[in-house]
Structure 1
Amino acid sequence: MKVVLLHFCFTEYTVELANGLANYADVTLIQPEKLKADCQQVLDPRVQVRNFAKPRIRDPRNVLAMAEMMRLIREAQPDVLHVQETNDFWYDLTLLFNKMPPLVTTIHDVFRHPGDRDNVPGSEYTRRIAFYKSQALIVHANPLKQALVQQFRVPGDRISVLPHGEIGTFFQKWSEGVHLPREPHTLLFFGRIWPYKGLQYLVKALPLVAERFPDVRLIVAGRGQNLEQYFPDGYDPRQFEILNEFIPLKAVAGLFERSTVAVLPYIESSQSGVAAVAYTLGTPVIASNVGGLAEMVNDEQDGLLVPPGDVRALADAIIRLLGDRELQQRLSAAGLARCQTDLNWSNIAAQTVEIYQRAIARAQR
């Protein structure tokens, strides 16, 4: 089987999927030129790579970029085209007006997150083209499938739910063998700092945690706007380590290795790449019991779930985990075990190939 993977973002996810698929298919990865450097040293050598120049979203030269993208797809002559959802209306319109090979699309987020400033005007409507043009859709949680069926009238038999595979391996490769020691009372909030991530609840919970563990420390790592709103009176650098910037790929694994727990206090969630990193690196997870997180994290088995927006419950869970070494070890071991089972890319790739086969059969009807 010849597979073309096309992506404009979700690099770590796409690389690990390509590496897994290389055991089952002839894989070609097509991507914007700017993503080339992020993939080079971590891709399986069996994966062929084709790059194309992609201007900024408002540049009319995107017409030429889409023409080149289509040329590369046709040149590869795939049995199936698998696309990671885009935030790019140029691609969406190209999909609308061109005949495509049998098409599979992974929808990471059915709806844009509240406060997501990366949303491109108009794409919220044009991206729906992929919902209906695809022979098969992949999502990472049952609530996303339900939303596609109930609100967008997508037939349920075209939607498959697959877990979000572990992506810590991607960052481990970038760390080049450098490992950092675990810090006993360090918490990690990682990723884009948008309102739906619930950072304010974690900041409010920290003084409660400090009553029990005075040396508790929170790392806030990721880009976000108006970070000052969380610290109107400033912050104590002994208690907070603020990295309000894009985290270099080679530094990501070290942040998780240093931390006793990764905290995901989201108030809305579709799925979580952060948990998928934490499990690989043996970092226990505390997360909100909301959306796809409630399926990603198995409460009391490989993580702890708390009600979203509940500062006291969040603080209690953190205190419990920091004070119980045996619980830390049990959750860490369970997360690592999942990276060899349902979150393992070889297993996910095998299930994905079955979806490809159904998509090809559906396209031939």
Structure 2
Amino acid sequence: MKVACLYFGRKGGCGRYALEVSKALSKKATIRAFISNQNYYYEEWVDTIEHVESFDTYKGVISGVRNTLNPNKYLKISDRISSFNPDVVYYPMIHPWSPALNYILEYPIVSTVHDPRLLKGNHNYLLAPAQAISLRQSTRLVTLTENAKDELLRKGYSEESIDVIPHGNMSGQSSLDEQPDYQKYSSKALLFFGKLRTYKGLDNLLEAYSSLIKPKIPDVTLWVVGEGNISRYGKRIELRESIKVVNKWVPDSELSTYFRRACALVAPYTFASQSGVIPLAYAHYTPVICTDVGGLSEQVIDGKTGYVVEPNNQKEFANACISLLSEPETARTYGLNAFEVSSSDLNWDSVSMLVLDTLQKAHS
């Protein structure tokens, strides 16, 4: 089977997802990848996938707008795809350019929908209409959770056209030990990781940390790691020596620096379809404490790989944190369980087999 993989994003979790699923598919089908010259993982794409074609997408706002409004850009890309003559076009993630390309191309299209409702705080005004159009243009859709599938069903999409395929593990280029440093489970360290968006509930976490967790576990430390506007949290962070902030985008090579020291990942989200940070934690032997929103409860197995608690319930969330911080053996067991899920159910070979089945159904 010949598959054209189209991913024009630049960096972040979705960039790693697109690369890993394409790499795994390349062992099962004839893959030609069409990517951005500005892709953070460009060299890895070229090194691991035999056929890669690339195009300028975004060097800044002016070039981004110019390229987006340039019809010749779409004609050039579609011409290169047509010369490959794929059996199916596959988007690991929808891009603002997808509708225009889909309009030109005459091949079955499979699109992975990471978030049927674009997340609150993610102000991408181009992607929202682009996604709405692309979903209608696609032959088949892939969601990462049953919750996301249900969201699409409520929007009127056919159940027969949707496949649920879990998010693969996200170890990336991190150098993982065969076994974790078991000291991490006695570290009394909690990790909040990822872009700082309002829907991720950092407000609730900081309140629970200061008023409920810190009084019970005096030597606890909270690491807040990710890019975004940290100023809105102000003195609640500045006045706490036990809250460590790394306010930047973290490259793959530095991921293990933070996960190796954490007893648990905390995800107090108020809204979510799924989270790529959860499989990242699993790949680093790290249990997860999350809220029961969207598809998070499908990713975290309550009482096995972490805890799932009621959203916006600071007391319940704090109690779950205190429990793992106070019981390093439980944290260790959950961490080992998480890694087992990562290396079995979420390994990219298994995930890509399911994706290939979807691509074949779209082609048939």
Do Structure 1 and Structure 2 share a fold, with TM-score over 0.5?
A: yes
The answer as to 2:245 corresponding to 1:238 is no
Q: Distance in 2 between matches of 1:234 and 1:21?
A: 44
> Which amino acid is the alignment partner of residue 58 of structure 1?
V
Q: Deviations over 1:174-205 (max 9, x none)?
A: x899x987370111111111110000111111
Q: What is the CA RMSD across the aligned residues, in angstroms?
A: 2.2
Residue 313 of structure 1 aligns with which residue?
Answer: 316
Shift of 1:248: 2.4
Residue 143 of structure 1 aligns with which residue?
Answer: 147
Residue 289 of structure 1 aligns with which residue?
Answer: 292
Q: Distance in 1 between matches of 2:231 and 2:257?
A: 26
Shift of 1:233: 5.4
Residue 101 of structure 2 aligns with which residue?
Answer: 94
Most deviating of 155-164 and 336-345: 336-345
Residue 359 of structure 1 aligns with which residue?
Answer: 362
Q: Distance in 2 between matches of 1:216 and 1:102?
A: 52
SS at match of 1:59: helix
Q: Distance in 1 between matches of 2:53 and 2:105?
A: 20
> Which amino acid is the alignment partner of residue 8 of structure 1?
F
1:2, 1:26 within 8 Å by CA — same for their partners in 2?
yes
79, 87, 90: which one pairs with 1:82?
Answer: 90
Please, which runs of 5 or more residues in structure 2 have no aligned partner? none
304, 324, 339: which one pairs with 1:336?
Answer: 339
Following TM superposition, where does structure 1 have runs of at least 4 consecutive aligned residues deviating by more than 4 angstroms?
none
Shift of 1:292: 1.0
Residue 3 of structure 2 aligns with which residue?
Answer: 3
The answer as to 2:68 corresponding to 1:68 is no
Residue 107 of structure 1 aligns with which residue?
Answer: 113
2:143, 2:164 within 8 Å by CA — same for their partners in 1?
yes
Most deviating of 37-46 and 63-72: 37-46
> Which amino acid is the alignment partner of residue 351 of structure 1?
L
Shift of 1:63: 2.8
Q: Aligned in 2, Cα 1:92/1:257: closer, same or farther, shift over 3 Å?
A: same
Shift of 1:163: 0.5
Shift of 1:46: 4.5
Most deviating of 8-17 and 263-272: 8-17
Shift of 1:43: 6.8
> Which amino acid is the alignment partner of residue 120 of structure 1?
Y
Residue 279 of structure 1 aligns with which residue?
Answer: 282
Q: Distance in 2 between matches of 1:236 and 1:171?
A: 35
> Which amino acid is the alignment partner of residue 3 of structure 1?
V
Q: Distance in 1 between matches of 2:345 and 2:292?
A: 20
Q: Aligned in 2, Cα 1:100/1:256: closer, same or farther, shift over 3 Å?
A: farther
Q: After the TM superposition, which residues 1-365 of structure 1 pair with which residues of structure 2 at under 5 Å, given as runs?
A: 1-9=1-9, 10-35=14-39, 37-41=40-44, 45-55=48-58, 56-60=63-67, 62-88=70-96, 90-95=97-102, 97-117=103-123, 119-121=124-126, 123-151=127-155, 153-168=156-171, 170-172=172-174, 182=184, 184-207=187-210, 208-225=212-229, 227-232=230-235, 235-236=238-239, 238-361=241-364
Q: Deviations over 1:41-98 (max 9, x none)?
A: 477634422111114432256433322321221222211111033341x332332x31
Q: Distance in 1 between matches of 2:357 and 2:147?
A: 22
Q: Distance in 2 between matches of 1:43 and 1:237?
A: 45
Identity %: 27
> Which amino acid is the alignment partner of residue 111 of structure 1?
R
Q: Distance in 2 between matches of 1:47 and 1:266?
A: 39
SS at match of 1:299: coil
Q: Aligned in 2, Cα 1:303/1:248: closer, same or farther, shift over 3 Å?
A: same
2:190, 2:263 within 8 Å by CA — same for their partners in 1?
yes
Q: Distance in 2 between matches of 1:358 and 1:234?
A: 51
> Which amino acid is the alignment partner of residue 7 of structure 1?
Y
> Which amino acid is the alignment partner of residue 133 of structure 1?
Q
Q: Aligned in 2, Cα 1:345/1:233: closer, same or farther, shift over 3 Å?
A: closer
Q: Distance in 2 between matches of 1:41 and 1:103?
A: 25
Shift of 1:299: 0.6
Q: Distance in 2 between matches of 1:319 and 1:71?
A: 57
Shift of 1:224: 1.6
> Which amino acid is the alignment partner of residue 261 of structure 2?
R
1:80, 1:360 within 8 Å by CA — same for their partners in 2?
yes
1:53, 1:65 within 8 Å by CA — same for their partners in 2?
no
SS at match of 2:351: helix
Q: Distance in 2 between matches of 1:258 and 1:43?
A: 33
SS at match of 1:157: helix
Q: Deviations over 1:321-347 (max 9, x none)?
A: 011122111111111111222211111
Q: Distance in 1 between matches of 2:82 and 2:162?
A: 26
Shift of 1:234: 5.1
